[in-house]
Amino acid sequence: MENLVQIAINNVNFGAIMPALVLSLFGMALLLINVFSPRGKTAHVAWISMVGIGVTAVVAVNAWNKPFQEITGFAGHVALDNFATFFNIIFLVAAGLTILMSDDYLKREGYPVGEYYPLILLCTAGAMLMASGINLMTIFLGLEVLSVALYVLAGFFRDQARSNEAGLKYFFLGAFSTGFLLYGIALLYGVTGTTNVAEIGGYLNANPGAYSNLMTVAGMILLSVGFLFKIAIVPFHMWAPDVYQGAPTPITAFMSAGPKAAAFAAFLRVFFLGLGGMQADWTSLLWVLAVLTMFVGNVLAIYQTNLKRMLAYSSVAHAGYALVGMVAANAVGVSGVLFYMLAYTLMNLGAFAVLVLLGKKGEDNLTLDGIAGFGYKRPYLGVALTIFLFSLMGIPPTVGFTGKFYIFAGAVKAGYVWLAILGVLNSAISLYYYLRVMVYMYFKEPTEDFSWVKVQVGAVISVLIALAGVLYLGVIPGKVMDLAKMALF
């Protein structure tokens, strides 16, 4: 026992968790600041959170391409490698854009409560732990930090039945799925005697007989259920529409990007590093799920009239596209997933930021009919939303196209031509419901004057940042694609 403690202490390397640490410190400091702040004043909390995001971004980028010694620590529990850093940047982008669009929104909806921001920061810190975790326990810890903060955020509007429903539903189902994950970890530990992902991989490779062990297979399946739930892959997507619709809009935006990317990060790490030997088994499983997810997400999105709900189903479908890259299981496909997560973060948060600006109190007007003629009354926002929607469709010159190209190129290169064909056919299905939003925005006469749509500085900034990202990565994606390539573990 004493030896173990010794090892752990010797291995402490705060550099390996520095981004998460900085962000958590900011989060906790903000909780304190909140106590001493006047009620209803949250702007300063938001801006300090943005400072926190900025500082963390500097710290996170600093870890890029560092030698392995400097970025591992805690007895090999965490590694702040390029893979983790790439995801960290995605989380920070998601969190930053979310915070920017939140402040006026919270005031409008009547919940100017400062705890909202530290919760986002803590949630992001959890996501960072998931991305850099090399040990299943660390990953689990990160997942819990992320989830608990997210449960609260989803149910943040505590007087609204819909928000309560979202929080509670997410909590119950999330807790249930975490149980699956934990049970999977236990089974794998039972087989291999370790929770370290790399060591699990090493053990299984050294003892190929263990691959056919029912416990290993069951562990793998249970583990994937846990991750697939967080990513909202069919058939574990049932929570997504209700939660996305009920949660505060910025949180919906955040959930569809940040935590999803975090779950993908851990999923990729565990399955390639730890269960890489069973790749043939899980790719055939994920192949089917990817196709199902794309079809279910896209087809059900067609039937939605509520925009948040439509984007929820579209988010399910996009997770399916990303899963295609994982099925491809080659360098192109996996770095494609990384790039796509960034792409999706930018375009989806951009679209949600426009919705934040567009909503009335209570957001009952975020329906197709509610945005009739919006493009004429608010031309700049209309153009922005249009570009985000074209990006979500995958039409060039936007990041949605280059991202999909990256992923499907991986699938084609790996020989999954049919999967790529099904993927692009799904893009074709998705055209319909995205185009329909534009039909209402531009092809219908306005019934309202949209006078309530005011310039909210934060939300406008996040629209602009997302727009710049969507177009930059749509036209000159080479550099960032290269970074995604270098980020492979």
Partner 1 sequence: MSQHLLSWMTFLPLLGLLVLLFIPRDNGGLLKGITLVVTIITFFVSLPLAFDDVFKTSAAMQYTEFVPWISVGSYFQMNYNIGIDGISLWLVLLTTFIMPIAVLSTWNAVDKNIKGFMALLLLLETAMLGAFIALDLFLFYIFWELMLIPMYFMIGIWGGKNRIYAAIKFFIYTAVGSLLMLVAIMYIYYAAVQSGVAMDGFSIAHFYDLNIPAHLQTWLFLAFAFSFAIKVPMFPVHTWLPDAHTEAPTAGSVILAAIMLKMGTYGYIRFAMPLFPEATQQFIPYLSLLAVIGIIYGALVAMMQDDVKKLVAYSSVSHLGFVMLGIFALNMQGLTGGMLQMVNHGISTGALFLIVGFIYERRHTRAIADFGGLAKVMPVFATIFMIITFSSIGLPGTNGFVGEFLILLGAFESELRWFAVFATTGVIFAAVYMLWMFQRVMFGELKNPANEKLKDLSLREVVIMIPLLVFVFWIGVYPNTFLEKMNPSMEQLMEQVNGKHQVASVEHVNHRQVDVK
Residues contributing to the site for partner 1 (CB under 8 A): 331-332, 335, 376, 390, 395-397, 401-402, 405-406, 408-409, 412-413, 417, 420-421, 424-425, 427-428, 431-432, 435-436, 438-439, 442-443, 476-478, 481-482, 485
Give me the amino acid identity at 87.
F
Nearer to partner 1, 244 or 401 (CB): 401
CA distance 277 to 37: 54
In whole angstroms, the minimum distance from the beta carbon of 263 to partner 1 comes to 25
In whole angstroms, the minimum distance from the beta carbon of 405 to partner 1 comes to 8
CA distance 24 to 44: 18
In whole angstroms, the minimum distance from the beta carbon of 94 to partner 1 comes to 24
**How much of the chain is helix, strand and coil, in % rounded to 5?**
80, 0, 20
CA distance 487 to 489: 6
Nearer to partner 1, 107 or 444 (CB): 444
Looking at the DSSP assignment, which residues form a beta bridge with residue 306?
367
How do beta strands 78-79 and 72-73 pair? antiparallel
In whole angstroms, the minimum distance from the beta carbon of 414 to partner 1 comes to 9
Nearer to partner 1, 324 or 353 (CB): 324
Looking at the DSSP assignment, which residues form a beta bridge with residue 202?
none
In whole angstroms, the minimum distance from the beta carbon of 489 to partner 1 comes to 17
* 3-state class (DSSP) for residue 363: coil
In whole angstroms, the minimum distance from the beta carbon of 440 to partner 1 comes to 10
CA distances from 107 to 43, 113, 449, 473 (A): 10, 9, 22, 33
Nearer to partner 1, 51 or 417 (CB): 417
Looking at the DSSP assignment, which residues form a beta bridge with residue 133?
78
Nearer to partner 1, 100 or 332 (CB): 332
Q: What does the block give as tokens for 3?
A: 């030896």
Nearer to partner 1, 360 or 377 (CB): 377
Contact 354, 307 (CB under 8 A): no
Contact 264, 209 (CB under 8 A): no
In whole angstroms, the minimum distance from the beta carbon of 294 to partner 1 comes to 13
* Backbone phi, psi, residue 298, to 5°: -70, -40
CB atoms within 10 A of CB 472: 14
Nearer to partner 1, 28 or 425 (CB): 425
In whole angstroms, the minimum distance from the beta carbon of 470 to partner 1 comes to 14
CA distance 404 to 400: 6
CA distance 235 to 227: 12
CA distance 78 to 82: 12
Concatenate the DSSP letters of all residues of 450-469 into one string.
Answer: -TT----HHHHHHHHHHHHH
- Pinpoint the alpha helices (H) of 155-235: 161-192, 197-206, 214-231
Q: What does the block give as tokens for 139?
A: 């990953």
* Cβ partners under 8 Å of residue 186, min gap 6: 219
In whole angstroms, the minimum distance from the beta carbon of 394 to partner 1 comes to 8
Return the closest-CA partner of residue 385 out of 406, 403, 371, 370: 371
**Is the bond leading into 396 cis (omega within 30 degrees of zero)?**
no
In whole angstroms, the minimum distance from the beta carbon of 57 to partner 1 comes to 24
Nearer to partner 1, 118 or 474 (CB): 474
In whole angstroms, the minimum distance from the beta carbon of 421 to partner 1 comes to 6
Nearer to partner 1, 101 or 473 (CB): 473
Nearer to partner 1, 97 or 481 (CB): 481
* Cβ partners under 8 Å of residue 199, min gap 6: 192
In whole angstroms, the minimum distance from the beta carbon of 447 to partner 1 comes to 16
In whole angstroms, the minimum distance from the beta carbon of 429 to partner 1 comes to 9
Nearer to partner 1, 139 or 328 (CB): 328
Report residue 195 CA to chain centroid gap: 25
**CA angle, corner 148, sides to 144 and 153, nearest 5?**
145
Nearer to partner 1, 12 or 421 (CB): 421
Nearer to partner 1, 188 or 422 (CB): 422
Q: What does the block give as tokens for 87?
A: 């995801």
